[in-house]
Amino acid sequence: MTHNALLLKTIMTFIIAALLVLSIILWKQTPDLFEYFNQAFCAH
């Protein structure tokens, strides 16, 4: 693997890991998300 490829792979890994952590934080801050979905699609 060339230096450039390794660098790109490392950057991509960091970006994906950061986005994953951000997503989990967002999900933890929206416990009522399910309620929205339920009201939207299954009002019973």
Partner 1 sequence: MTKTGNQFSQPLIYMLIGSAIILALSLGVRHGFGLYLVPMSHEFGWGQHVFSLAIAMQNLIWGVVQPFTGAIADKYGSKIVVAIGGLLYTLGLLLMAFSSSILILNLSLGLIIGLALSATSFTVLLSAVGRAAPPEKRSMAMGIASAAGSFGQFIMLPSTLLLLKTVGWSAALMVSALLIALIIPLALMLKGSSNQTPKAIAQPQLTFKQVLNIARKHKPFWWLALGFLVCGFQVVFLGVHLPGYLIDHGFDAATGTVFLALVGLFNVVGTYGAGWLGDRFSKPKLLMALYGSRGIAIIAFLLLPLSTYTVYAFGVIMGLLWLSTVPLTNGIVANMFGVKYLSMLSGIVFFTHQVGSFFGGWLGGVNHDLTGNYNAIWLCSIALSILGVIVHFFVNEEAVIHDA
User: DSSP secondary-structure letter at 32?
Assistant: T
Q: Binders of partner 1 among 1-44, rule CB under 8 A?
A: 1-2, 4-5, 8, 16, 19, 22-23, 26-27, 29-44
Task: Number of residues interacting with partner 1: please give it, by CB under 8 A.
Answer: 27
Q: Closest Cα to residue 19, out of 7, 27, 9, 8?
A: 27
Q: Measure the CA–CA gap between 1 and 7, rounded to whole angstroms.
A: 10
Tell me how far, at minimum, the Cβ of 13 lies from partner 1, in Å: 13
Binding-site ranges for partner 1 (CB under 8 A): 1-2, 4-5, 8, 16, 19, 22-23, 26-27, 29-44
